[in-house]
Amino acid sequence: KNQVEQSPQSLIILEGKNCTLQCNYTVSPFSNLRWYKQDTGRGPVSLTIMTFSENTKSNGRYTATLDADTKQSSLHITASQLSDSASYICVVSASGANNLFFGTGTRLTVIP
């Protein structure tokens, strides 16, 4: 069964600190993995997208890693800001399909 699991479910960190979010998946055949940021009441916004051959990709203070062998990904946020407070969703796409498999997200709260 194609599944995407994320941890932790929620996380509270102090402004300026770093954090790492985890994503494990069982989607097969694998096509790509995406991390999205979703602010409350808004649609998801793409942060990174990685294919099978990529094991790291950065977008500003966001760095995603992918281990296709263990089917794990992480999203590292550096020097967090209050505006980073949002849900971060890991989404995996299967080959040959436009359908995406969504994780339940990690709710990040950055406090001053």
Residues that bind another protein (CB under 8 A): 31-32, 36, 41-46, 49, 89, 93, 98-100, 102-105, 107
- Minimum Å gap between C-beta 33 and another protein is 12
31 vs 59 by CB, closer to another protein: 31
65 vs 87 by CB, closer to another protein: 87
- Minimum Å gap between C-beta 79 and another protein is 26
15 vs 49 by CB, closer to another protein: 49
**3-state DSSP of the chain:** CCCEEEECCEEEEECCCCEEEEEEECCCCEEEEEEEEECCCCCCEEEEEEECCCCEEEECCEEEEEECCCCEEEEEECCCCHHHCEEEEEEEEECCCCCEEECCCEEEEEEC
